[in-house]
Chain A
Amino acid sequence: MLVELTGRPELAAIGPQTPLLHPPVRLDSLAGTLLLRQIRARYGVDVADEDINLDALATLGTLAAFVAARVTPAAGPGVQSGS
């Protein structure tokens, strides 16, 4: 998803501990917004609504945990994709 949003193929290799908003990934506000939109469309989770400081965006690991904790089986991956 990150590679698609940013056009940066090297992001396919980042680990769950790599910071997203700081170097070397350093998502800017445009890429970050697109990522949050994709998360909402795909998983039905509105990160910005619940997380005032957007701490969920610290790393891929924190983001995955935040989403996983809120996705119910009925609204799992794929169900809302394309919305």
Chain B
Amino acid sequence: MAEPAGPGPVDRVVKCVVWDLDNTLLTGVWLEAAQPPGAEPALLAALAELHGRGVLNSIASRNPAELAATLPGLADWPAPFVSPQYGWGRKSESLRRVARELNVGLEALAFVDDDPYERAEVEQALPDVLVLSPEDVPDALGWPALCPPVVTAEARARAASYAQAQARQQAAREHGRSTSDFLRWCRTELTIAPAAAADLPRLAELAARTHQFNSVRRAVLEPELRGWLASPEHRVSVLRLRDRFGDDGLIGAAIVHTGPRRRPSPEWTVQLLMMSCRAMGRGVIEALLAWLARAAAGQDGTALLVPSRLDDRNVPLRLALVAAGFRAEPSDVDREGRTWFRRGLGGQPPALPEWVTVEAPVPL
């Protein structure tokens, strides 16, 4: 089938392909076959290709959960399956669970199933999901939605990172103490440092992939990022995150107009604030906003401004801004559709958690 029309087919970035098993990834029906079925070679190659591009793979199968234990013995799978879903419920429900567990939007999912009924059910219930038959897959591998323009080290490590995230969530449930205690127990380390030219591909990738914590909600390409990096009036800072469960690498950035170095502007404007949803719930955005306020106040700044294009996807960013003391008037909207959030810098600067390391000397 052709790539369907619908919300943002051109801008769509598929982050996870959810596969049916019986007669799709497997060469038969697991419960019915006399011999355990093997893997479909062409799709095995597609799995490997997607994994290499940093696209995750998952499963939505009408089979008992026991198949999960048998699956590794059926083929030499070239990629791990994250958040696999087994059971007899609707496939659209399985896809919703995958999106929820991975914390991605439904438009970030593709679904492959040999059964036209299952495909129709998902197409009807979840029009944002890219629905494919197994025969579509070779062509689809050439579609922009499945071809990330840049594949960074962080992207290649994505599947491992989601496995670490699941281990972390499990530990958090068992831990049962406050979030800050848990972050300390995890040995969370957030490093904020000036960006280097080598970071630009990852920054462009983050700008394309982040939604929930992205203040501008538009594509920002490498030339524009390079311009900010070279500008004497801007500071580009990058965030790296790791803990006892793993190293997430570069997960966020803030691009701030500070004015000339010798005579910084009293009002600092954050031109772009973005953070991967992998870092959500780990104190990162709160620490970043606190650090920005401290850095601006340290340069005699009077206010920190975050112009944000608001939509229903970046509500998490707005929550973080409001919790950090930012406010906007409904009339504070510029020609680019950005609402200007402002935080005055008088009084005591916000505290920075002890697990944050700042490599950039303050001033930034």
Contact = CB atoms under 8 A, between A and B. Distances in A.
Interface of A: 7-8, 21-22, 26-33, 36, 46, 48-49, 52-54, 57
Contacts of A52: 310, 328, 330, 339
A66 B200 CA distance: 43
Interface stretch (B22-30, B234-242, B279-287): B279-287
Nearest to A58: B322
27 contacts: A7-B172, A7-B176, A21-B319, A21-B322, A21-B323, A22-B323, A26-B179, A28-B281, A28-B283, A29-B213, A29-B280, A29-B281, A29-B286, A29-B316, A29-B319, A31-B281, A32-B323, A33-B212, A36-B315, A46-B312, A48-B318, A52-B310, A52-B328, A53-B322, A53-B328, A54-B319, A54-B322
B328 A33 contact: no
Nearest to A21: B323
B58 to A, nearest CB: 21
Interface residues on B, range: 20 to 34
Given A21-B323, A29-B280, A29-B323, A48 B315 contact: yes
Which of B176, B283, B317, B323 has the most C-beta atoms of chain A within 10 angstroms of its own C-beta? B323
B327 interface: yes
A48 B313 CA distance: 10
A35 B183 CA distance: 22
Nearest to B286: A28
Contacts of A57: 319, 322
Contacts of A22: 323
A63 B173 CA distance: 27
Interface string B314-334: 011111101100011010000
A52 B339 CA distance: 9
Contact of A28 (B179, B213, B315): B179
Which of B178, B320, B322 has the most C-beta atoms of chain A within 10 angstroms of its own C-beta? B322
